[in-house]
Each structure stands twice: as C-alpha cells, then as structure tokens.
Structure 1
Amino acid sequence: MSTGERDWRVLLLGGASGTGKSRLSYPLARRYQVPIVEVDDLVLAVQRMTTPAQQPLLHYWDTHPDAAGLPVSRIVELQTAVAQALQPALEAVIGNHLETDTPVVIEGDYLLPALAAQDSFAGQAADGRVRAVFLHEPDVERLVANYRQREPDEGEQRSRAQVSARYGDWLAERAAEHGIPVLTARPWATTLSRLCALLDAPGTG
C-alpha cells in the first residue's frame, strides 16, 4: 500500500481488546510514515511512577487478582473507570504532539470516545488535527478465536471475550454519539484498506 497523505497530526485508534488494533496500527503507521504510541506502554510507565495508594484505579488489576471472576458488567465498569483515570496522561501526550506538530498513531483499549471528541488537549487546540476511529468486533466467538490465535497457550478465554464484546459495544455506542467513525473488524482482509479509505476522506474521523 502506497504512502498516504493525511490531514491529521494525531490519530487515535480505539476499540476493545482482541479486535485487531495492534495488528492494524503497524501497517497503518508505515503507510502514513508516523510513529506509534501504545497506550499499554503509558499504563506501565504511570504504574512504575506511582503507588496503588496514589493511583488505585491504574493499579486495580494488579491489586485485585481475582477481579477476572467478577460479573461481565462489573468488569466493564472497572475497565471504563481505569480508562477515565488514564485520560490526563493521554491528554498530555496528545497535547505534546499537537504543540510540536509531530504526527503519531496512538492505539489502545483505554482510549475513550469522549477523549477523541475534545477540542483541546493540554492547552493545545485540536483544530481538526486529532482524528479517531474505533474498531468493533461484537461477536464473542470471533473474539475467542482471536485470543486463541494470538495467545495459544492461554486456553479458551471466553470470559475475557465476553468482557471485550460488551466493552466494545459500549465504546461503539459512545463513539456514535460523538460522531466518531466505528469500523467493523470484519471482513479482516479489507479492514486496513477500509480504514485508510476512511482516513483519506477529508473531514471524517
């Protein structure tokens, strides 16, 4: 795929776990010749710099190892709360890229549509330079298969897939409310080309 022109400085690629964000982000970054920031790396950095007492939500999964056994709806609530706690760090990263006029693709489960819809970040006006797309895979069986392919030694992660499907539905609904594009993950053979076509259309995303 040839190098694409872009009208954005920051591209947010969101969606629930197992939908293919990481798999898409690298060829996407190569096409637009920009670097990638993975939100999971930011989470690790913030965790290393803080304590559970200082940032209880950002340490929640480590301090509550049995949380995976909670009802799906409760896990989704916690996932959303963790994402909201991370927003100041993400706002700072986005603001820095806007201030320095440095393009970047940011991808991760903890990107929220409300963040993508903001007009300013860390004092920097977005001015249309921040765009977002949320990847959506609502089918639990497909997510189970995705996890099996990606992490064959972990067994059948059905509960995790159920959480991902529910969280993904919530993200898609919130994205639609904010007018942010939601891209269905399948058919996978065309996902990258559909995403690029969406981004190459001015004023969308």
Structure 2
Amino acid sequence: MGHAALATATEDMLLPGRRPPWRVLLLCGASGTGKTRVSYPLARHYGVPIVEVDDLVEALQAMTTPEQQPLLHYWRTHPEAARLPPADVADLQIAIAEALVPAVDAVVGNHLETDTPVIIEGDYLLPAFAVRDSFAGVSAGGRVAAVVLHEPDEAQLVANYLDREPGHGEQRHRAQASALYGDRLAAQAAEVGVPTVTARPWDDVLARVTATFTAPQPVSAAH
C-alpha cells in the first residue's frame, strides 16, 4: 500500500470516538525515536489515556530504595554509567526493562480485566513481554497489540535530541547507545512476531503504525 493510501486509510480508521481494535497498545522503542509523535495522536483520535513507563519508574523509585530495587535506581546511583560503552548501556536498558515487567504486567492486566483501552509507551517495553498469553492472570485473548518504533540512524537520533533538548548539546554517545538498544528491540521483535516500524518518513509514520494493528498479528508462544 502506498503512502497516500495509507494516510487515507488511517483517516478512515481514526474517526473520533471509534473503539480501537485493541484494549492495550504497547508502543516500544528506544529513546529519541519519536514515540510521542505516534502515541499522542493515537490517544486523541481514540479517546484513550496514555501510560508512560517513565512515570511508572518515578513512582517505583519513590516507593523503594536502591537496596530493594537496585536496577530501577541504577542511573541515579551510578551517574557515571552514562559514559559506559554503548553496548553496556544497551545491556543495562534491557536489564532495567526486565526489572519493570511486574509493574507493567499489573497495568496491562488491570486494563484487560476492566476492558478499558490504554496506550502504554516507553523505552523500557520489551517486545517479548507483549506476546504473553496472559497478564497479571488475565487472558490476553488477542486484545494486546504491540509495535516497535525504530530509528537506526545515529545521526538522526543526534538531531532529534538537539531538537528536543537544545540545551544539552550534541549527545552523540547517547545516540549511539539508543541506536544499539533500538537494534536489539527490533531483533527481539522479529523473533517473537511483533512488528517494527521505522520512524521515518515522519509524514506517514502514524499510518504505518496503525496498519500493523488493524491487520491480524502473528500468534506467539507465551513467555
């Protein structure tokens, strides 16, 4: 389907007040890829709330100590870790995402049990988490959709950070780590059957993301 056709199809599917084809949409992707560019327009069109995983992290940090949850506090207790080699930073991102699974699992399960749609977006969402048969003891029943938004170009990530955080200068090391982490998310997504969408071109990214969950997604084994 061409870009123009995708855009038209998206406009038809995103009629105000229309019930989304999922109850929970997990929007995964590394930092700086443009998840906000997708999640907020979708939320407005469908009239559903957004849960940002960063907010879950803040809440959990307020309720725990570094001794209780060392990974969730790691960036605060080890600020020097930001200068680790990009591969090590990506490893830490994966580890933190895995530590957050019980919290995200509870949120997904609650929305499935109450049958209330929600978009959950954040850096710490793993594609393998999205293909479970159940969440917090509640059957998924085909009601959970997921997509990975990916920007593989380090130079573009540098530009995105400069645009978003102009006072922080050129964050090339951060962009390198983000690109590598994004590659790992995309590889994991391919393994479990979760679609990956490239962030650019931006003018039709919403249509391309929407197309992934309006068609049937592959059924994967429980994790």
- TM-score per shorter chain, which class? over 0.9
Q: Deviations over 1:127-184 (max 9, x none)?
A: 1000100001000000000000000000000000000000000000000100000001
Indicate whether 1:152 and 2:140 are aligned: no
Structure-1 separation of matches of 2:201 and 2:116:
32
Structure-2 separation of matches of 1:5 and 1:88:
27
Indicate whether 1:27 and 2:41 are aligned: yes
* Structure 2 residue identity aligned to 1:181: P
Provide TM-score, normalisation by structure 2: 0.89
Hey, what does 2:52 align to over in structure 1? 38
Structure-1 separation of matches of 2:71 and 2:211:
37
Indicate whether 1:138 and 2:116 are aligned: no
Structure-2 separation of matches of 1:101 and 1:190:
30
Provide TM-score, normalisation by structure 1: 0.97
Tell which deviates more after alignment, 190-199 or 71-80.
190-199
Residue 21 of structure 1, CA deviation: 0.4
Hey, what does 1:66 align to over in structure 2? 80
State the aligned residue count.
Answer: 204
Residue 24 of structure 1, CA deviation: 1.3
Structure-2 separation of matches of 1:52 and 1:142:
34
Hey, what does 1:204 align to over in structure 2? 217
Counterpart secondary structure, 2:100: helix
Structure-1 separation of matches of 2:19 and 2:57:
30
Structure-2 separation of matches of 1:160 and 1:32:
33
Residue 200 of structure 1, CA deviation: 2.3
Residue 69 of structure 1, CA deviation: 1.0
Q: Any gaps of 5 or more consecutive residues in structure 2?
A: 1-10, 219-223
Q: Deviations over 1:3-24 (max 9, x none)?
A: 2543210000000000000121
Indicate whether 1:162 and 2:176 are aligned: yes
Any conservation in 2 of the 1:138–1:168 contact (CA below 8 Å)? yes
Alignment partner for residue 80 of structure 1, among 78, 94, 98?
A: 94
